[in-house]
Structure 1
Amino acid sequence: MIRNYFRTAWRNLVRHKAFSMINLLGLSLGITCSLLIMLWIQDERSVDRFHANGQQLYHVWERSFFEGKVEAGYITQGPLAAELKKLVPEVQQAASLEVNTLHTFQVDSKVAKMEGSYAGEDFFSMFSYPLLEGTPQAALKAPGGIAISHKMAERFFGSADKAIGKTIRFENKEDLRVTAVFENLPINSSIQFDFLRTWADYTPDNAWASSWTSASPLTFVQLRPSADPAKVQAKIKDFLKRYANPNDAARTELALQPYADKYLHGNFKEGQLAGGRIEYVNSSGLIALIVLLIACINFMNLATARSAKRAREVGIRKVAGARRGTLILQFVGEAMLLTFCAMGVALFLTTVLLPAFNNLTGKQLVMPVQQPVFWLCVTGLLVITGFVAGSYPALFLSSLQPIRVLKGGLRFSPSAAMFRKGLVVFQFSLSMILIVGMIVIYRQMDYVQAANLGFDRENLIYIPIEGELTSKHELFKKEASDLPGILSVSRMKQAPTAHDHYSGDIGWPGKAPNQQVLIADASVGYDFVKTMNLTLLEGRDFSRDFGNEENSYLLNEAAVKKMGYQHPVGQPLFWGSSQGTIIGVLKDFHVNSLHQAIEPLVIRLQNNASWGNLLVRTRAGKTKEVLAGLENICKTLNPQFPFTWQFADEQYTRLYKNEQVVSKLTNFFAFLAIFISCLGLFGLAAFTAEQRTKEIGVRKVLGASVPVIVKMLSANFLRPVAIAMLVAFPIAWYVMHQWLQNFAYKIDIAWWVFLLAGAITVGIALLTVSFQSIKAARMNPVKSLRSE
């Protein structure tokens, strides 16, 4: 019997090739979309899940209360890790980790820049980064030691075993001994580094790292297996009170987050963890489900529309004794067979499209064909898709009464026709939601890229201050300024597109003694305003003409408003125990992404700081010549360090990496959704034209023109599309309005966005339906009336 059902199903697919191909193509594309997103989601969810101690690893974060506001983040105090391990019995191990930066290393004639940081002694004992040489306990213990990656060991020493115990030159100022070699970090590690230095080497050069009033590093703890994380969190909540001066106006609390959760749940809102990349993961999964559902709806629509062709078959089978359950099994089996074929095509398409998808998402995904879990997921996807696609047609066909269909064909009830139209409305509603999302995300990304940041990020280059440039930066500035393509040169400790330094030591007359305020601060060199193309509203820039200006300050508008000054220039400003003077006010400008509102900013002069970035403003169109000239200067002044640079506009673009990926994915899936929807519409139009062949012939004989017949046939299909707009647009507005709340500066969702989305959908649908309508309308009426 099963063999007969299989043979019948196969004959049906072969006999109706056009409709089978439409269904096959739609299901194949829907499954391909699901497979690609499934691989991407699996990769996202695997990040940081490989650590053996993962169940006991936690990220410490802080929640600060001041001025009636709550702010939260992951930066903590330098001594925190050691104190938690010493005073909290449930903490088995703890380690600090500073943010990665690029540093120059040298062994003999080999020179290269590698990315890494400083970490606490327990780091390799806590995290599962396998050591090829050395031990976790000793890797970061002794001052002057360094742990390097396998890649770094091969680059400088040839192999891991040859690197251990050898000396490597750091920043051309100190020699470090290789104490360990760790395996190259896996791509699903959220932390990536080529080397780690000891925390014992970090604190002597960074006095603030031993202070409880400053914060910068990350802190990780490993709890004992018997510890209750909730109780530990409650215990350390007010841990910092013992190290801070009593202050009713401000306080900071500690909290714990499972380490593996931070990658997907790393955003804060009103002092609480509130989403993160998980929102993009969930939305991508939802989009994949929508596209697959649209493909399944196509199958339902076409199968039920063609049920008249199979009504007699059902009637005969029922008369012969077939039960309804047997018929349901047969029709679901047919859907499963088509889905099986579609799955084969989808696996091929996924393999072919995966390199392009990796380029789109910045991943290194591969088809995990050797993993049983993958095939289990594929089987589950096949069964669910086949069942969903075949469920309604099977229930509908198996419910037909044999007497009715054998006496005189099948007439659809109004409810059945309404249900089919409802499915069309549903799938086009989903498509239009994606199209509106595509337009809104594109406009927001375009707004972000074209936004006036308050400074000119075009033709602005960053060059790191390192090696000999720490003492020769003035000479560099002089020689660089003589190059014909350079307009101005200055310096800044942090890059102006990614500023995250704050101070609580800034005061002004009228500020309450116990008022705790965090103010963003920046240290710059001479000609900063000119190089950045900032707008000076009052006062002046730093200048050598006024002697020592170490205690002179520039403020932005937000800082002036915060301090309550009416005429700020010439007014005093306190930084710790030092008193200075405000010499100028700058128009507000962004020093972070547009996700954040502009904050109060105080700028001071530190022209001789030993680190930071040189800022070089170039003439438009002279980039190539300028880079060649700058490289020659750096080779002369700083020969031990390779010349490196960054463009300000490229660094700014990287701030929106997640949004750019979502934008590309939405564009792709919106096109795919509307294409699959129109495939179904095309099939329904073709079938309707086939069913109404004689009617069309009669109308033509009676004088109906081709445009009249096309209008008649098209109207029935465009009506559901019009209804879909009324359903989709309110939902699309709400979803995109919520997404835009992630930006402090955002576009308004204009009315024309919905008009454009509707016009695109109607236009594509009209082209799809009109093709079949015109074909049917132009048919010779003699042939139409003769057809069976």
Structure 2
Amino acid sequence: MISNYLKIAWRNLWKNKTFSLLNIMGLALGMACSLLIMLWLQDEINKDKFHKNGKQLYRVMENQFYAGETVTYASTPGILSQHITKDIPEIEMASQMLWEEYPLFTVGNNFEKEKGRYVNGDFLNMFTFELEKGDARTALKRPDGVVISKKLAEKYFPNQDPLGKIIRVDNRDDVMVTGVLKEITEQSSLKFDFLMSYERWLKTNEWAKEWGNNGPRCYVMLNKNASLDKVNAKIKGYIKSKNKDSNVEIFLQPYEDVYLYSNYKAGIQDGGRIDYVKMFTIIAIFILVIACINFMNLATARSIKRAKEVGVRKVVGAVRYSLVAQFLGESLIIAFLSLIFAIFIVFLMLPAFNTLTEKHLSLDFTDPTFLLILLGLTIVTGLVAGSYPALFMSSLRPVVVLKGALKFKPSATFFRKGLVVFQFGLSIMLIVGMMVVYRQIEYIQSKNLGFERENMLYMPLEGDLSKTFISFKQELTNMPGIKSVTCSQADPLEVGSSTQGVMWPGKDTTKIILFSQNPVSYDYLTTMGIKLKDGRDFSPAFSTDTTNYVINEEAAKKMGMKDPVGKEMTMWGRKGTIVGLVKSFHINSLHESIPPLILNMQRGQNNWGQVIVRTQAGQTKEAIASMEKAFKKFNPRFPFSYKFTDQEFAAQYKGENVVSKLANYFAFLAIFISCLGLFGLAMFTAEQRTKEIGVRKVLGASVVNITAMLSKDFLKLVLMSAVIAFPLAWYLMSNWLQKYAYRIEIQWWFFLIAGVLACLIALLTVSYQAIKAALMNPIKSLKTE
């Protein structure tokens, strides 16, 4: 019997080649799109799940409280790890980890900046980053030790055993290679080319030894039997026990959650990359459902052709369940063929998809999980797509169909039209979403940040530049293409340092207020293009400016000062005068509102920061050449490197740009696949109304009249889709925009464009079948069988 069903299925597929191709390609596109998203989702969900101690690893988080506001940070005191393991028995190990560093590595005549981290000795015992050479238990125990990647080993010590070899760091210190890392898996969100002793870094950064200062991250590993809730309760006031003036409470976040759940609001977890995971999961399901609906509509459109077959089979004794099995079997065969095409499409699209998403996804047919995904995708698609046609066809009464007059109940027609409404509703929602995302990204990239990011570059203040900056600045300012030069502790797009140690006359000492702060040099406002609202910039003509301050409008509001210039204030015990008030400008991501900011003069020698250069408009090449020449003169032992401010700004929103592009592609695919379903319904309607069209033509109806008559019903369905989709799209995209402190308003014309576009696409799709039906010879249409 099964072989008989297979023969019948194959004959029907081969007999109706166009119909079969439409079905297979519609499902293949939907399955390919869903498969791409599933590969992406699998990669996202599995991030950081490879660590052997993964269930015991946690990141220490801080809740800081300011005037009724709770702010959550991953930064912690730099000495937390060495104390918390002694005081909290449930914590088996702990490791501090510094932000990404780019020190200069020199071996002989080979020197280059490398990317890595400073970590405590237990780091490799906690995390599963395996060594190819060396002992993970002791590799980071010695202060002058360094663990390097296999790539760096081959780069600096080709054809040699790197263990015990010496690397010069920043032309100051020598470190010894104590281990070589195996290649870090793509499943790790943490990537580095070296690990160096955190204790070594701590010796030269005294500020990190104070309980009131935060910066490095802290990771802990709990005992296997430890209770997270009990440990959180125990460590909640740990920082306060070390520093009575602290306003900090700490808690642990599972390390396996860090990648996906990175955002916090008012001390409560508030999403992160998991939002994208949820969004693309829904999109994958929707697109697959749209493809299945196409199958249903196309299968129903061909039902008249197979109605007599069903009638004859029932007359000779076929029961309903056997007919359902037959039609479901046919849909599973089509789903399997669609899967083959889908895999081929994915194979072709993966390189471009990987480039867009910056991943290394692949089709791994040796992975049992991947094979189960393929099998599940095929079975689910086949059963969902074939369920309605199978149930509908098997319900036909032989007495009716053998008379040659197949009629459908209003409920069946309503259901099929409802499917089309659902399809186009989803497509219209995607179109609206696409426009909102695009406009928000465009708004971000064109928004006035309060400073001029064009024609501005910056490079690290390092090596000898920290000692000779004044001379370097004087020479560089007089070179071709250079307009002005300054330096700053923070880069132009991110001021990460903050303090609550600010006082002023009349301050309410019961309220704790957090201020961002940035030490700068002369000409900072001029070079950045920041506008003064009142007062002046720092100037070498005023010797007292080394203790004076420039604040932004937000800081003035927090201080309750309408005219702050000339008023006194104190930061970290250093009393000075506010000499300038600048208009508020963005110092961080547009996801965040502008914080109160204090600018103060840099004191003494700075070993780190950024040299910021304003170039003459249209003379970027000349400016870069001048920067390189001056840099090599004053800092010859370091490689010359620089960044464009506008390019770095665009890179901050790379994730949103990827989402925007994917939304465009998915919206196009959804519309295209929906049009296949609409084409199927148009075909079905034309077959059902063949004789009606013939009668109308005999009575004088023109081709235009008949085309308009057939198209009108479909446009009603699309308009109905729009009415349903618009409020849902507005709600979903309004929620998405809430993640931005600065965002666009959703305009009414977004919905108008989406509705008109959907109607035009639907009209073009339907018009072909409508015109074909209208041009049919009425003599053939009115022939009786």
Do Structure 1 and Structure 2 share a fold, with TM-score over 0.5?
A: yes
Instruction: Please point out which of 650, 653, 656 is paired with 2:650.
Output: 653
Deviations 1:356-404 (A, max 9, x none): 1111111111111211111111001100000000001111111112222
The answer to whether the Cα contact below 8 Å between 2:297 and 2:680 also exists between their aligned partners in 1 is: no
Instruction: Report the counterpart of residue 565 of structure 2 in structure 1.
Output: 569
Q: In 2, Cα distance between the equivalents of 1:593 and 1:127? A: 31
Asked whether the 8 Å contact 1:434–1:670 carries over to 2, the reply is yes
Q: CA deviation at 1:5?
A: 0.8
Structure 1 residue 305 displacement after superposition: 2.7
Aligned-partner SS, 1:196? strand
Give 1:717 shift.
1.2
Q: Which residue number corresponds to residue 733 of structure 1?
A: 730
Match of 2:346 in 1: 350
Q: CA deviation at 1:629?
A: 2.3
Shift of 1:657: 2.1
- Which sits farther off after the overlay, 422-431 or 656-665? 656-665
TM-score by length of 2: 0.98
* Paired residue secondary structure (1:484): coil
The one-letter amino acid paired with 2:183 is N
1:227 aligns with 2:223: no
Q: Deviations over 1:92-132 (max 9, x none)?
A: 10000010021111100001110112111111111111112
The answer to whether the Cα contact below 8 Å between 1:455 and 1:532 also exists between their aligned partners in 2 is yes
SS of residue paired to 2:114? strand
By how many angstroms is 1:786 displaced? 5.9
Q: Secondary structure at the match of 1:549?
A: helix
CA deviation after TM superposition for structure 1 residue 782, in Å: 4.8
The residue aligned with 2:294 is 298
Q: Residue 140 of structure 1 corresponds to which residue in structure 2?
A: 140
Q: 2:628 is matched with which residue: 628, 631, 652?
A: 631
Matched residue, 2:254:
258
Q: Distance in 2 between matches of 1:65 and 1:253?
A: 9
Q: Does 1:468 align with 2:467?
A: no
Bigger shift: residues 457-466 or 175-184: 175-184
One-letter identity of the residue aligned with 1:527: D
- Residue of structure 1 equivalent to 2:171: 172
Kindly provide the amino acid, as one letter, of the partner of residue 89 in structure 1: P
Classify the secondary structure of the residue corresponding to 1:140: coil
Counterparts of residues 174-573 of structure 1 (less than 5 Å): 174-246=173-245, 251-573=247-569
Q: 1:787 to 1:589 in 2, by over 3 A?
A: farther
Corresponding position of 2:616: 619
Residue 478 of structure 1 and its aligned partner are, at CA, apart by 1.9
Aligned partner of 1:688 among 685, 689, 692: 685
* Sequence identity (%): 50
The gaps in structure 2 that reach 5 residues or longer are none
**What SS does structure 2 have at the residue aligned with 1:433?**
helix
| Residues 311 and 409, structure 1, Cα contact 8 Å, conserved in 2 | no
Cα distance, 1:690 vs. partner? 4.0
The CA deviation at 1:785 is 4.8
**Alignment partner of 1:746 is 2:743:** yes
Cα deviation, 1:397-430, whole Å, max 9, x if unaligned, reads: 1111222222342100011001110111011111
Which among 578, 581, 584 is matched to residue 585 of structure 1?
Answer: 581
**Per-residue CA shift, 1:689-737, capped at 9, x if unaligned?**
3443443333233222221111011012111111101110110000000
Partner of 2:31: 31
Deviation of residue 748 (structure 1)? 0.5
Check conservation: 2:300, 2:684, Cα contact below 8 A.
no
CA distance in 2, matches of 1:715, 1:300: 22
User: Which residue identity does 1:541 align to in structure 2?
Assistant: D
Counterpart Cα distance in 2 of 1:93 and 1:557: 45
Q: Give distance in 2, aligned partners of 1:91 and 1:53.
A: 13
Answer whether contact 1:58 1:259 (CA < 8 A) is retained: yes
The alignment's TM-score, normalised by the length of structure 1, stands at: 0.97
CA distance in 1, matches of 2:754, 2:704: 26
Distance 1:319 1:779, change over 3 A: closer
1:100 matched residue in structure 2: 100
Contact 2:301–2:683 (Cα < 8 Å) also in 1: no
The Cα shift of 1:548 comes to 4.4
Distance, in Å, in 2 between the alignment partners of 1:92 and 1:610 is 36
Paired residue secondary structure (1:616) = strand
Give the letter for the 1:201 counterpart: R
Which amino acid is 2:33 matched to? Answer: C
Deviates more, 1:381-390 or 1:303-312: 303-312
1:486 alignment partner AA: I
Equivalent residue for 1:721? 718
Residue 780 of structure 1, CA deviation: 4.4
Residue type of the alignment partner of 2:387 = S
Moved more, 146-155 or 349-358: 146-155
Cα RMSD after superposing both structures: 1.5
SS in 1 for 2:318: coil
The alignment partner of 2:581 has SS state of strand
Q: Give the aligned residue type for 2:198.
A: W
Looking at structure 1, the residues matched to 176 and 618 of structure 2 have their Cα atoms a distance apart, in angstroms, of 46
- What SS does the corresponding residue of 1:537 show, helix, strand or coil? strand
Q: Is the 8 A contact 1:22 1:680 kept in 2?
A: no
One-letter amino acid matched to 1:405:
V
1:545 counterpart SS class: coil
How many Å apart are 1:55 and its aligned residue? 1.2
Structure 1 counterpart of 2:685, one-letter code: T
Q: CA deviation at 1:291?
A: 0.6
Asked if structure 1 preserves the Cα contact closer than 8 Å seen for 2:295 and 2:386, the reply is yes
Letter in 2 for 1:55: K
- Amino acid in structure 2 at the alignment position of 1:640: R
Q: Could you tell me whether the CA contact under 8 Å between 1:236 and 1:255 is conserved in 2?
A: yes
Offset at 1:514?
A: 4.7
User: Are the aligned partners of 2:65 and 2:512 in contact in 1 as well (CA < 8 Å)?
Assistant: no
Alignment partners' CA distance in 2, 1:410 and 1:701: 24
- Give me the whole-angstrom Cα distance separating, in 1, the residues matched to 2:61 and 2:397: 67
Answer whether contact 1:77 1:215 (CA < 8 A) is retained: yes
DSSP 3-state at the match of 2:99: coil
Deviation at 1:50, TM superposition (A): 0.7
Counterpart in the other structure of 1:756: 753
The number of residue pairs the alignment matches comes to: 784
- Native 8 Å contact 2:463 2:607 kept in 1: no
Q: Distance in 1 between matches of 2:568 and 2:141?
A: 46
| Alpha-carbon offset, residue 659 of structure 1 | 1.4
Q: Tell me the secondary structure at the aligned position of residue 610 of structure 1.
A: coil
Q: Is the 8 A contact 1:298 1:680 kept in 2?
A: yes
1:273-328 alpha-carbon deviations (Å, 9 max, x no partner)? 12110010110111011111000001111212322222211111111111111111
**What do the CA deviations read for 1:31-66 (whole angstroms, capped 9, x no partner)?**
001110111011111111111111111111011223
The 2-side partners of 1:49 and 1:642 are apart by 37
CA separation in 2, counterparts of 1:538 and 1:155?
54
Which residue of structure 2 lines up, in the alignment, with residue 672 of structure 1?
Answer: 669
CA contact (8 A) 1:54 1:259 kept: yes
Distance 1:51 1:545 in 2: 58
| Matches of 2:756 and 2:105, distance apart in 1 | 59
Structure 1 portions without partners, runs of 5+:
none
Cα distance in 2 for residues equivalent to 1:186 and 1:612: 32
